[in-house]
């Protein structure tokens, strides 16, 4: 979808923008001597005789060589495994898969602290008779530095465009297996919008010290409360009070862990943290060229952490270390780390405006799904679709997942548009996708949470039907839709609402699946925030530059009587009640709850339900609002929402096991106080969850009518009495009292559009 940059990516010199004043990449010198491979430079300053004999040093012939900085290297054929870069006895091994390539050239450049000017990239042309085994091209280079070497490949082939190939030797390509990636230095720096992505490595730094007392949280799935968040947006705003040099970074997130603990969160689901190009939308003039991709759903590489989430100047080695420090700190706080991963497509766009950085130029027919005319299939909505169930691509994905588990200690993954992973190489749906099964059965991934977003942009909707091997959980899209519709007062939704809050047994009570395999959510990163859900009937995406044509139209939202912000006290009060109603429903539902960053204080995107391209307060967490909220200075906030209600309700869930059953509810574990199921006009639902051990029952009632409903309260367990814990119609701090308020009578007047929560003690 995006055009190629105006300058040639075939330029042989590394862009000056990559030369930094930091501790890495301060200058480069070309390799002067090699063996076993043809050597080329992109200037005529060197004349090198090519030799095929292994281990024989090729001497420089030009007299100019005596005047330059000489450094001798030897090369050998190398090993085919592992793919990527590895340290071996003889040196540094490089291995690249390409089935259809006819030539592969390794491009290298080395650091030198006293040279700041442009330098040439030295190119080692691999000899297929020596440097190729099967479909893997490989070479070993001796005496290379153990870190800070930048590298890439030039790949060519004989196939034509109409045969599905996209070879272009002029483009320097990123290694799909690069464990570290060097791109631009600072996030969103438009002066480096055309910065090249290079692979690099670090075999010098000591292994990260996880600590003697380090341990994984290992939280049971039934006990999770997930907080979906964006690493950068969480602390990028000035209101975070964090030093600007680390704001928006992995390290900055560590400083805000106390907020997560205060809220009661025990798992964070991080929007994409694999290396991505945040300025891809600015590569050519287009209606979205003012945007900065802050969500990150456009992967450049599947192994490297986003380098510009490091503190200070973006640096891949520092990013790797600081990511581990973040995970270690979160684990120390008892918080698991789940990554939102995007294996359904890459950043390389479509065939109209191709953006070739890696896979497309290495072997397009292998890495992407093609139609019968050898054009890219698009089940991702982003121009291309990764060929996930091809054996080579499947291995890449598995290697990537295991790398993040073993190297970075992450606890799980949420798979974006996971239905794509259920398609065959021709795009047809598979009932037992090899990749999905392999992920479920892999021993390294066995301790991980694996969560599918069970749909794609090709219409493959698999909610409740996702191939699972009793391991996969799913984002429960039906929960979102049904709960939204009931709470806002749609007719005929009571039965569906009851099914959703009791664990969606219609979807997940199959084989050995559990209620927690349904991830319940009302709000996610894409779509309205919770505040906007009760403030807007329609999306307002004009700022995105697509004439309002982007984003979902089916939001099941209700503005409570006025579109957008208003000074009407009645409408504002109703909106607050509705926000609390949604949160109460989420936290008392069987299954795994997930909430969105910022909903605890009522973050607004002003009706934009597709805000992926705004690196502004539109997406950034507003810490002043959260602080005011915590201080209960509620009258200052436009939405009059209380963070205390959200946090106390999460903690209530943690302390009451009847809200998080391991198995689906039996008749003795829940009582529905209802005899009006067939009345589509009925919008009131009440039920009791029974604690058969300690008699700590929980009663909940939801009233989506526009009038009071007198609810008859059932008898509490023997020797107990009911205490009111929550009433969303009351103002803070009376809306939630964790100790409970005694004196609940035989009947309770539940206000319009409100809900109550009782506990027996």
Hey, which residues are catalytic here?
Answer: 416, 453
Longest dimension (CA), the chain: 101
**Which two structure tokens, joined as six digits, stand for 735?**
């809306």
Q: How many residues does the chain have?
A: 761
Antiparallel, parallel or unpaired: β 150-156 and 103-111: antiparallel
Output the DSSP codes for 501-537.
HTT-HHHH-STT--GGGEEEES--SSS--HHHHTT-S
Torsion angle of the four alpha carbons 558, 560, 566, 569, in this order, in degrees rounded to the nearest 10 = -150
Sequence-distant (≥ 6) Cβ neighbours of residue 87 within 8 angstroms:
93, 146, 203
Measured distance CA(284)–CA(290) in Å, rounded: 11
Element (H, E) at 575: helix 569-587
Positive or negative, the CA dihedral 620, 336, 404, 526 is: negative
Instruction: Identify the three-state secondary structure at position 422.
Output: helix
Antiparallel, parallel or unpaired: β 136-141 and 91-97: antiparallel
Instruction: Identify the three-state secondary structure at position 330.
Output: helix
**Which two structure tokens, joined as six digits, stand for 497?**
């609402």
Cross-strand pairs, 182: 198
Measured distance CA(430)–CA(592) in Å, rounded: 27
Sequence-distant (≥ 6) Cβ neighbours of residue 739 within 8 angstroms:
723
Sequence-distant (≥ 6) Cβ neighbours of residue 116 within 8 angstroms:
19, 26, 27
Measured distance CA(487)–CA(490) in Å, rounded: 8
* CB-side neighbour CA atoms (13 Å) of 452: 29
The residue among 266, 242, 411, 409 whose CA lies nearest residue 333 is: 266
Backbone angles phi, psi at 233, to 5 degrees: -65, -20
The residue among 109, 170, 111, 107 whose CA lies nearest residue 139 is: 107
Sequence-distant (≥ 6) Cβ neighbours of residue 209 within 8 angstroms:
none
Output the DSSP codes for 689-741.
E--TTT---EEEEEE-SSS-EEEEPPPPSTT--EEEEEETTSPTTTTEEEEEE
């Amino acid at each position: 979808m995006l055009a190629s940059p105006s300058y040639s990516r075939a330029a042989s010199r590394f862009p000056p923008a990559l030369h930094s004043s930091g501790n890495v990449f301060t200058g480069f010198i070309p390799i002067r001597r090699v063996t076993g491979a043809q050597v080329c430079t992109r200037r005529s300053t060197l004349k090198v005789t090519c030799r095929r004999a292994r281990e024989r040093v090729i001497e420089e012939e030009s007299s100019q060589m005596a005047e330059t900085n000489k450094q001798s290297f030897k090369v050998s054929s190398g090993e085919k495994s592992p793919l990527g870069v590895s340290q071996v006895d003889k040196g540094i091994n490089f291995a690249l898969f390409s089935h259809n390539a006819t030539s592969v050239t390794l491009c290298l450049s080395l650091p030198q602290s006293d040279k700041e000017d442009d330098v040439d990239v030295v190119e080692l042309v691999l000899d297929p008779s020596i440097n190729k085994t099967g479909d893997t091209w490989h070479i070993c280079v001796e005496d290379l530095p153990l870190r800070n070497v930048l590298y890439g490949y030039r790949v060519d082939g004989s196939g034509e465009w109409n045969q599905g190939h996209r070879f272009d030797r002029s483009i320097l390509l990123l290694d799909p297996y690069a464990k570290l990636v060097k791109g631009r230095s600072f996030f969103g720096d438009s002066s480096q919008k055309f910065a090249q992505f290079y692979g690099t490595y670090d075999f010098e730094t000591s292994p990260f010290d996880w600590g003697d007392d380090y341990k994984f949280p290992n939280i049971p799935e039934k006990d999770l409360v997930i907080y979906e968040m964006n690493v950068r947006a969480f602390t990028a705003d000035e209101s975070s009070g964090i030093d600007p040099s680390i704001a928006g970074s992995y390290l900055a997130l560590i400083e805000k862990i106390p907020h997560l603990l205060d809220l009661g969160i025990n798992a964070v689901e991080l929007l994409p943290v694999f290396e991505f190009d945040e300025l891809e939308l600015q590569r050519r003039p287009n209606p979205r060229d003012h945007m900065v991709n802050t969500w990150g759903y456009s992967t450049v590489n599947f192994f490297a952490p986003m380098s510009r989430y490091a503190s200070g100047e973006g640096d891949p080695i520092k990013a790797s270390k600081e990511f581990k420090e973040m995970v270690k700190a979160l684990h120390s706080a008892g918080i698991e780390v789940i990554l939102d991963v995007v294996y359904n497509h890459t950043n390389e766009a479509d065939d109209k405006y191709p953006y070739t950085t890696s896979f497309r130029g290495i072997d397009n027919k292998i890495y992407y799904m093609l139609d019968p005319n050898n054009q890219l299939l698009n089940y991702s909505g982003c121009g291309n679709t990764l060929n996930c169930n091809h054996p080579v691509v499947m291995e890449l994905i598995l290697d990537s997942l295991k790398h993040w588990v073993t190297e970075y200690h992450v606890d799980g993954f949420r798979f974006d548009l996971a239905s794509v992973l259920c398609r065959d190489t021709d795009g047809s749906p598979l009932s037992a996708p090899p990749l999905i099964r392999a992920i479920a059965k892999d021993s390294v991934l066995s301790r991980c949470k694996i969560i599918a977003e069970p749909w794609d942009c090709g219409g493959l909707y698999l909610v409740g039907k996702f191939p699972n091997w009793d391991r996969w959980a799913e984002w429960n899209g039906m929960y979102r839709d049904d709960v939204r519709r009931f709470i806002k007062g749609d007719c005929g939704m009571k039965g569906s609402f009851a099914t959703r809050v009791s664990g969606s047994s219609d979807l997940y009570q199959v084989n050995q699946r559990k209620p927690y395999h349904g991830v319940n959510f009302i709000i996610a990163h894409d779509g309205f925030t919770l505040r906007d859900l009760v403030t807007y009937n329609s999306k307002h995406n004009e700022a995105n530059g697509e004439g309002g044509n982007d984003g979902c139209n089916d939001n099941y939202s209700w503005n409570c009587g006025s579109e957008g912000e208003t000074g009407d006290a009645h409408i504002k009060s109703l909106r607050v009640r509705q926000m609390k109603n949604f949160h109460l429903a989420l936290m008392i539902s069987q299954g795994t709850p997930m909430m969105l960053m910022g909903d605890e204080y009522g973050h607004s995107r002003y009706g934009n339900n597709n805000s992926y391209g705004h690196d502004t307060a539109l997406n950034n967490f507003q810490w002043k609002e959260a602080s005011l909220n915590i201080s209960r200075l509620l009258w200052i906030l436009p939405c009059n929402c209380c963070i205390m209600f959200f946090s106390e309700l999460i903690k209530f869930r943690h302390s009451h096991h009847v809200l998080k059953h391991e198995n689906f509810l039996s008749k003795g574990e829940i009582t529905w106080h209802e005899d009006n199921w067939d009345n589509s006009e009925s919008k009131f639902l009440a039920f009791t969850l029974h604690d058969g051990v300690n008699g700590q029952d929980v009663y909940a009632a939801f009233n989506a009518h526009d009038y009071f409903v007198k609810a008859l309260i059932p008898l509490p367990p023997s020797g107990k009495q009911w205490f009111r814990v929550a009433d969303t119609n009351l103002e803070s701090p009376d809306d939630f009292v964790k100790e409970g308020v005694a004196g609940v009578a035989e009947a309770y007047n539940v206000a319009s559009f409100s809900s109550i929560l009782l506990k027996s003690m």
